[in-house]
Amino acid sequence: MTDEFIYLILEIVLEIPKGKVATYGQIALLAGYPKNARLVGKVLSHAELFGHYPCHRVVNHMGKCATAFPEQKALLQQEGVIFKENNCVDMKHFQWKSKASGN
DNA sequence: TAAATGACGCATG
DNA sequence: TCATGCGCCATTT
């Protein structure tokens, strides 16, 4: 992957407002790589190595916490996001709608 | 170079 | 939303 891709992902992640969550696919889409959702996860995995990024606001398409990052659940709760009993976020109300999504 | 892996997504049922 | 199966692509072994 290119460093450009990494910074691109981080930029988008920083755009996610508090109390909202975005999916890897959505970020990958905004980054221009709709198929590279997995790469987004790889970047977020060591995003803190590049700096402090709200990687906890990034969840999978179910609104579920990352496979190896359950702490994000508690973090989102502090942001105001409501988790259901199934540990899934109410996507219909908490999924971030970026302006670029309609482009 | 090929095979396996991974913070994933989508179509169906 | 969950379970299963397939696709996607870069990194690692």
Which pLDDT tens digit goes with each residue over A18-28? 999 999 999 99
pLDDT value of position A90: 93
CA of A38 to C1' of B10 (A): 14
Residue nearest to nucleotide C10 (CA to C1'): A1
Could you tell me the sign of the dihedral formed by the alpha carbons of A69, A61, A93, A6, in that order? positive
Whole-number pLDDT of residue A95: 95
A39: nt with nearest C1' to CA: C10
Q: Is the CB of A10 under 7 A from strand C?
A: no
Model confidence pLDDT, tens digit, residues A42-96: 999 988 888 899 999 999 999 998 877 878 899 999 999 999 988 899 999 999 9
How far out from the chain centre does Cα A99 lie?
Answer: 16
pLDDT at A101 over 80: no
The answer to whether A55 and A19 have CB atoms below 8 angstroms apart is no
Q: Which residue has the tokens 């508690």?
A: A74
- What is residue A103's predicted lDDT score, i.e. its pLDDT? 45
Cα distances (angstroms) measured from residue A35 to each of A18, A28, A32, A78, A90: 26, 7, 9, 31, 24
Q: Give residues 42-61 of chain A lying near strand C (Cβ < 7 A).
A: 42
